[in-house]
Amino acid sequence: MSKNHVTKVAAFIFILVVGFILRTMYEAGEFKTLEPHYSGDCFSVAGVAGAEDITFLKNGTALISSDNRRSRMNGSLEQGTIYQYRPKAKDHKLVNLRPQLDTGFHPHGISVYEDPDGKIFLAVVNHHSGGLFNSSEGHSIELFRYEVDSLFHIRSISGPLMISPNDIVLINRYQFYVTNDHGSSSGRMQTLEEYLQLRRCKILFYDGKRFNVAASGLGFANGININRDGSLLYVAETIGKQLSIFSRDKNTNDLELIESIYFNSGVDNIEIDSDGNLWIGSHPKMYTFSRHMNDSTVLSPSQVYKVSLDQSNSYAIEEIYLNLGGELSGSTVAAFYDSTILIGSVFESYFLDCNY
279: which strand partners?
271, 306
Lowest mean pLDDT among 122-136, 260-274, 302-316: 122-136
Mean pLDDT of 152-164: 95
Residue 241 in contact with residue 222, Cβ under 8 Å? Answer: no
Residues 6+ apart with CB under 8 A from 67: 49, 50, 52, 80, 81, 106, 107, 108
* Structure confidence at residue 8 (pLDDT): 62
Task: Region of 188 please: left (phi>0), alpha (psi -120 to 50) or beta.
Answer: alpha
User: With 70 as the cut, is the pLDDT of residue 9 above it?
Assistant: no
Instruction: Give the pLDDT confidence of 53-103 residue by residue, as tens digits.
Output: 999 999 999 999 999 998 887 778 889 999 999 997 766 689 999 998 878
Higher pLDDT, 290 or 27: 290
pLDDT band at 309; cut points 50, 70, 90: confident
116 DSSP β-pair partners: none
Give the mean model confidence (pLDDT) for residues 159-187.
Answer: 92
The pTM score is 0.91
Q: Where are the domains of the chain?
A: 1-31, 37-355
Please give the residue that has the higher pLDDT: either 131 or 308: 308
State the distance between the two ends of the chain, measured CA to CA, in whole angstroms.
68
Secondary structure tally for the chain: helices H, strands E = 4, 24
What pLDDT does residue 135 have?
Answer: 55
CA dihedral 261, 267, 271, 277 (to 10 degrees): -30
Amino acid symbol at 311? Q
Does 37-355 carry CATH code 2.40.110.10?
Answer: no
Residue 133 pLDDT exceeds 70: no
Instruction: Answer yes or no: is pLDDT of 20 > 70.
Output: no
Give 212-223 pLDDT, tens digit per residue: 999 999 999 999
Least-confidence region, from 81-95, 106-120, 148-162, 295-309: 81-95
b/e code 116-150 from CB counts within 10 Å (16+ = b): eeeebbbbbbbbbebebbbbeebbbbbbbebeeee
* β-pairing verdict for 94-96 and 62-66: unpaired
Say if residue 250's pLDDT is above 90.
Answer: yes
